[in-house]
Structure 1
Amino acid sequence: MELGRGQPGLLMPPVLLLICLRLGAGLAPEHIDYVPQLSTATLAGALTQSTFTLEQPRGQFSHLSISDLDPIWLVVAHSNAFRNFTAPQRVEDTPVPADFPQRGYYLTLMANRALYPHSQPVSQLRVLRVGNDTSCSPTRRGCNAPLPGPGPYRVKFLVMSDKGPVAETEWSNDTRLLQAEALEATPVPQSAGAVVIIAILSVLLTVLLVTLLALLIYTCYDTCGSTSISGRGESVCMRRYKPHHLFSPPPAVRGS
């Protein structure tokens, strides 16, 4: 039925509009004018050697082309490989952290738009910590494994459906992680006076050690060379002895 010039326009039903948008989404994902940002909240460990923290993209996925059931992924990529990113057309083709060294990107932190509303309670934490799961397997889809190096990294949000990519945000700016600093011994310059003092102290220490050693040898020799005859609490055992002139034979023996 064609609309006449004087006839009022008919509104397209939301379901039909969603189907049309989905067909268009199969050609190219819808662009969302949003750039992921690092968290500005004062948090301990907001940026570490293997993790970084993002602000939640609240209220950014209210487009008609996105349904409540569509998964929203976070794409993590090396800054030198983000231009090579190709959105997967099937769930089975979703890159995992184990593919990061070869592809340079992977998908993680799957959510839906119900988790990113326009407003949230003040007491609820509004951040996403990338690389925070140390227990998941890097080969598992959606694993939020620790990042393998200092970066730099770029991220963006990608909305998927069973038909393929639906919408995507802008890429973030480069994010560099903290790096461990090696402690190097700094040579301390020594003056001539310091060298003399160190030499004198060394000589005095040597003399002290020799004196203590001599005193120890003398004490040991003096203790081991002397014999104690008796002491308190010692018992002396003596054997009885009878002289021959004090011994008298019995009378029977004398008369025989």
Structure 2
Amino acid sequence: MGLGRGQSPLLMALVPLLTCLQTGMSLEHISYVPQLSSATLGGRLTQSTFTLEQPRGQFSHPSISDSDAIWLVVAHSNATQKFTAPQKVEDTPVPADFPQGGYYLTLRASRALYPGGQPSNQLWVLRVGNDTRCSPRTRGCNHPLPGPGPYRVKFLVMSDRGPMAETEWSSETRLQQAEVLQAAPGPHTAGTVVIIAILSVLLAILLAALLTLLIFTWYDTCGSTPISGPGELVFMRKYDTHHMSRPSAVGAS
């Protein structure tokens, strides 16, 4: 901005101050890219969560104090360009704003939770979307993610005066999707229909034969005419055979 000879010395003195204020409004850049956890970790990606490596030792800059809040910004991949850091904690978007705004802040922490120099054999991760108990309208709620994504994340440092520093955006992360049962190919499906039809016909024939057998058995047992009824008289004739007759009496001598 150029100054003419007629401008006051007060305005000339304010120029450096305005320049300083404009410079202070820009966020400090932290050259760190959030990364997914190791591929061998169980539950690294699910249908509503994903797991990040903790950004340990990334917030040791002197301008960041232990009382500053470190937020994780979760955004749809196509909403990163329109992200605007909130100026106050009260203005931080919540998960309920995600469908319309395209991003929200969660997993508030401090740099004391992300120290450097820890042993490498310990597992330090952040599971995004892992809290099913909090309300999506609660500030900082780590609510399950609403869909497969893709998502991108970054860390944002905020003090009482507003945003202080930010990391780079991560690469795209896509969640797992439920597998949909696919219909079998056409020829195989036609063959299956023919087999089912044949089996149905055979089953119908078997049932008909069984029903016929049951009817025939019932008719033979309960429906036949008896030889003699209850009121009939049965006459029997006595037959004497010759060989069963008593021998004739022998005369006395």
| Aligned: 1:174 with 2:172 | yes
Aligned to 2:207: 209
Aligned to 1:90: 88
Counterpart Cα distance in 1 of 2:82 and 2:25:
18
Counterpart Cα distance in 2 of 1:137 and 1:172:
26
Aligned to 2:26: 28
Contact 1:136–1:143 (Cα < 8 Å) also in 2: yes
Aligned to 1:151: 149
Q: Trace 1:73-152 onto structure 2 (pairs within 5 A).
A: 73-121=71-119, 124-152=122-150
Counterpart Cα distance in 1 of 2:187 and 2:47:
35
Amino acid at match of 1:53: T
Closer, same or farther: CA 213–188 of 1 in aligned 2, 3 Å:
farther
Decide which moves more: 138-147 or 198-207.
198-207
Closer, same or farther: CA 180–130 of 1 in aligned 2, 3 Å:
same
Amino acid at match of 2:44: A
Quote how far apart the aligned CAs of 1:194 are.
9.3
RMSD value, Cα: 2.9
Decide which moves more: 87-96 or 197-206.
197-206
Quote how far apart the aligned CAs of 1:119 are.
3.0
Counterpart Cα distance in 2 of 1:121 and 1:140:
35
Counterpart Cα distance in 2 of 1:182 and 1:95:
34
Contact 1:35–1:156 (Cα < 8 Å) also in 2: yes
Counterpart Cα distance in 1 of 2:105 and 2:173:
17
Quote how far apart the aligned CAs of 1:204 are.
4.2
Aligned to 1:63: 61
Gapped regions of structure 1 (runs ≥ 5): 1-22, 227-256
Counterpart Cα distance in 2 of 1:27 and 1:195:
71
Corresponding residue SS for 1:216 = helix
Counterpart Cα distance in 2 of 1:66 and 1:209:
83
Q: Percent identity?
A: 77
Quote how far apart the aligned CAs of 1:136 are.
0.7
> 1:36-94 CA deviation, whole Å, 9 max, x = no partner?
01111522221111111111101000110111111100001111111111111111101
Counterpart Cα distance in 2 of 1:167 and 1:197:
68
> 1:154-205 CA deviation, whole Å, 9 max, x = no partner?
1000011000011110011111111223212113526x99999877655544
> 1:13-51 CA deviation, whole Å, 9 max, x = no partner?
xxxxxxxxxx89851221101000111152222111111
| Aligned: 1:40 with 2:53 | no
Amino acid at match of 1:82: T
TM-score by length of 1: 0.71
TM-score by length of 2: 0.72
1:49 to 47, 50, 54: 47
Aligned residues: 204
